[in-house]
Chains A and B, each alone.
Chain A
Amino acid sequence: MSEREPVLEVSGLETHFHLGGGLLGRGEEQVVRAVDGVTFDIREGEIFGLVGESGSGKTTLGRTILGLVPATGGSIRWKGRELVGLTEKEFRPLRRRLGMIFQDPNASLNPAMTVAQGVGHPLRIHGITQTRAETRARVAEMLERCGLAPAERYLDVYPEDISGGQKQRVVIARTLITGPELVVADEPVAALDMSIRAKVLELMMDLKDELGLTYLYITHDLASGRFVCDRMAIMYLGQMVEWGEARAIYDDPQHPYTASLLDAIPLPDPSRRDRDKQLPRGEIPDALSPPRGCRFHPRCPRAFEPCGWEGRDLIDALEDRWTRIDEATFERELGLVGDRTAAVVADDHVRFRTDDPHALRQLLTELGPSLPTVVIDATTSMEADAGDLVVRFGAGPAPGDQVVAGRTVACHLHGVVERS
């Protein structure tokens, strides 16, 4: 595909949610960094994929671009115009040119409006049509374009009377009726039955060609992303970990997270059941306190010393070990380590409140190689201090962006580069 003009340029975008302190303003204010410094652009006429697990911030990023959630930092330029900082009122006229397709067609249509009313409403909102008959004619035309023909059969029905696939077509018609240029599609087929997903995706791609649309395609499903996207970005905990040409990413993933996402997809081919899969440990952590360094390091199957090991990783590693040993050993180790509440965990150290710091140090050193992660190797010191054992960790720089094999990756495996 030839290089086309970027229509949307996002740089250093941040969307942070501030959770108020406790009742009466006491307690610490917490910040969820749903989108935390994201830079990319979308070129005219392409489908740009945004892929990640739930909690990766992909949906928040899409909603921020459409001004449905206020950005707390950075910039979004659409055809040269800055969108960050626009008020709701200033944004409103732009909405006919920036559309959104939602995930669940059952919930994104107003149950109290007929198809004709719902699809026609954007025309009335933006004053595009003046009379009811004109609106109805435009709606009918759009419905047929979206595969709902003859339109008369669908105009006066309520959403509850049509199937999920038909509802999603109605949603698409409602989004496209004002003639948008950029459409954010948030998991447009995830809620649909398998046998009709392809139909809806095909429709979206046909309409893209017919109407000259540009899509931001948000999905958790790498499989459909591969089929649809020209370029894509893999998101993890509010940041992009790998982005570039979709084909390059699928054929040869460079970030361990991308690789595990690809490995985890169940294949409808029983003969390849026993293929080698590299599955990450655990689940995506709480965005309230993202891990230090590389945010993926606690789960990464290939993480090594510089990835940002920290106090809680040590506790997690011990707990993981405890699920696999006999009870007597567990009791003995627990006696030395103390439970979760007995240790003071900070970013760069853990202070174990223990009766016997020396025995604990010996235990940790011995356990090191048998733990599921390299967390012990990443320690810089273990010292007895005032009857406690303090375990310290070295610096854990956040990985910077590097161009590897035609795409950008943020991972220390390709050389330890600190994020600027």
Chain B
Amino acid sequence: MSTVPALSVSDLTVDYATPKGYLRAVDGVAFDLHPGESLGLVGESGCGKSSLGRALMQLLPQGALVGGSVNLAGDELIGASDARLRKARGEDLALVFQEPMTRLDPLMKVSDHFVEAIRAHRPETSKDEARHMAREVLAQMGIPPTRANNYPHEFSGGMRQRIMLALGIVLKPQVIIADEPTTALDVIVEAQILDLLDRLRSDHNVGLILITHNLGIVAETCDRVAVMYAGRIVEIGPVVDVFARPKHPYTQGLLRSVISVDTTELSSIDGSPPDLTAPPRGCRFAPRCDQAFEDCHSVDPMLAQVALDQHAACLLYPGADRRGAEVGV
């Protein structure tokens, strides 16, 4: 793509301190996100997808170590000052969480959440102006203007998630990071929220990073997909290509294991993900991989181009051997 990326991540690492040693939850992740593009980050629990989302926003628990670079339209966020980060959260980056109720203050009217958020970033905005902005963006998200002065508990789960989305976009950020935004919701409401996210992306030209464990959601909403396993991206590429022709054995297994209405045969991946305080040598998926060969247990693969725009970190493909050539993503 020729446009300047809205968000550029390279060599991102996240380490958590544990009594057993440092746990590298995110290990050298790199990708670009263009304006108006949606990227699905998909993986199973513990693969590091949520840590990655939080690292982008610099919202990690105390004591965690972050390395690498998160570049927001030319501005480096890793190691930036607290003031710069506060400004970034909301104005440049919005984060939408799984459980909306816990993010809303039960004692504050919905419109007041907006007034506070808007005036924290743009103190010159009057309260009336802020309320006006709130009503407009709430209406866009399907919340009637007559309900703007209600309290969070007066809304249903789906409506709260709509409110969170409205709060996220009121300052017109360039990138929305949605971490399992529909996991707590029923399928029908989930579909409604995903429609909204899609509309937001195309109407406002924002970049969307959708973190989820549900491959169906990725197929329905994203342009590109990054599959994560044990802290690393093992395959990244356009959704259409990756779903039609998955290259990495893990992606293949994951796609086969989805139980959808069309499923005629059940399939699963044997074994469980590695302990990240002591990851295995070589490819981290090798112990569970049915296509693994000898080198897989000693050589750590890197992302290599496997098709146009599609990259996979697997030794089955030329160039994935770390001893090989340098590859850009």
**Which A residues have a C-beta under 8 Å from some C-beta of B?**
53-54, 163-165, 193-199, 201-202, 220-224, 226-227, 250, 260-271, 273, 277, 279-280, 282-284, 319-320, 322-324, 327, 330, 334, 339-340
Q: Of A227, A273, A319, A340, which is within 8 A of B219 by CB?
A: A273
- Chain B min CB distance to A220 (Å): 6
Task: Judge whether A202 and B266 touch: CB under 8 Å.
Answer: yes
Residue of A nearest to B139 (CB): A323
Task: Say yes or no: is B67 at the interface (Cβ < 8 Å to chain A).
Answer: no
Task: Say yes or no: is B298 at the interface (Cβ < 8 Å to chain A).
Answer: no
Report the bound CA distance from A77 to B45 in whole Å: 42
* Size of interface on B: residues with Cβ below 8 Å to A: 53
Say yes or no: A261-B243 contact (C-beta < 8 A), given A198-B267, A273-B220. no
12 A-B pairs with CB atoms under 8 Å apart are A195-B268, A266-B214, A267-B262, A268-B243, A269-B243, A270-B243, A270-B244, A279-B195, A283-B158, A323-B138, A323-B144, A327-B135
Q: Of A195, A250, A280, A330, which is within 8 A of B254 by CB?
A: A195
The list of the 4 closest CB pairs from A to B, nearest first, reads: A266-B216, A319-B144, A198-B266, A53-B186
- Chain B min CB distance to A201 (Å): 6
Task: Say yes or no: is B28 at the interface (Cβ < 8 Å to chain A).
Answer: no
Q: Of B146, B159, B186, B218, which is within 8 A of A220 by CB?
A: B186
List residues of chain B with CB within 8 A of the CB of A54: 186
**Which B residues have a C-beta under 8 Å from some C-beta of A?**
44-45, 135-136, 138-140, 142-147, 156-159, 186-192, 194-195, 213-220, 239-240, 243-244, 253-255, 257-263, 266-269, 272
Task: Judge whether B259 and A198 touch: CB under 8 Å.
Answer: yes
List residues of chain A with CB within 8 A of the CB of B268: 195-199, 202
Task: Judge whether B144 and A284 touch: CB under 8 Å.
Answer: no
Task: Judge whether B215 and A265 touch: CB under 8 Å.
Answer: no
- Chain B min CB distance to A333 (Å): 10
Report the bound CA distance from A322 to B143 in whole Å: 9
Task: Judge whether A223 and B146 touch: CB under 8 Å.
Answer: no
Say yes or no: A165-B272 contact (C-beta < 8 A), given A265-B216, A284-B186. yes
Q: Which of B158, B189, B263, B268 has the most CB of A within 10 A?
A: B268
Report the bound CA distance from A323 to B139 in whole Å: 4
Residue of A nearest to B156 (CB): A283
List residues of chain A with CB within 8 A of the CB of B272: 163, 165, 196
Task: Judge whether A260 and B188 touch: CB under 8 Å.
Answer: yes
Task: Judge whether B266 and A279 touch: CB under 8 Å.
Answer: no
Report the bound CA distance from A266 to B243 in whole Å: 14
Task: Judge whether B145 and A330 touch: CB under 8 Å.
Answer: yes
Say yes or no: A195-B257 contact (C-beta < 8 A), given A220-B186, A261-B187. yes
Report the bound CA distance from A165 to B271 in whole Å: 10
- Chain B min CB distance to A173 (Å): 18
Q: Which of A54, A224, A266, A282 has the most CB of B within 10 A?
A: A266
Task: Judge whether B259 and A266 touch: CB under 8 Å.
Answer: no
Report the bound CA distance from A383 to B167 in whole Å: 41
Residue of A nearest to B142 (CB): A323
Task: Judge whether A227 and B254 touch: CB under 8 Å.
Answer: no
List residues of chain B with CB within 8 A of the CB of A198: 257, 259, 266-268
- Chain B min CB distance to A374 (Å): 20
Q: Of B44, B191, B219, B220, which is within 8 A of A194 by CB?
A: B44
- Chain B min CB distance to A243 (Å): 18
List residues of chain A with CB within 8 A of the CB of B188: 53, 260-261, 264, 279-280, 283
- Chain A min CB distance to B307 (Å): 15
List residues of chain B with CB within 8 A of the CB of A202: 266, 268
Task: Judge whether B257 and A194 touch: CB under 8 Å.
Answer: yes
Report the bound CA distance from A339 to B219 in whole Å: 41
Task: Judge whether B216 and A267 touch: CB under 8 Å.
Answer: yes
Task: Judge whether A268 and B215 touch: CB under 8 Å.
Answer: yes
Q: Which of A193, A227, A319 has the most CB of B within 10 A?
A: A193
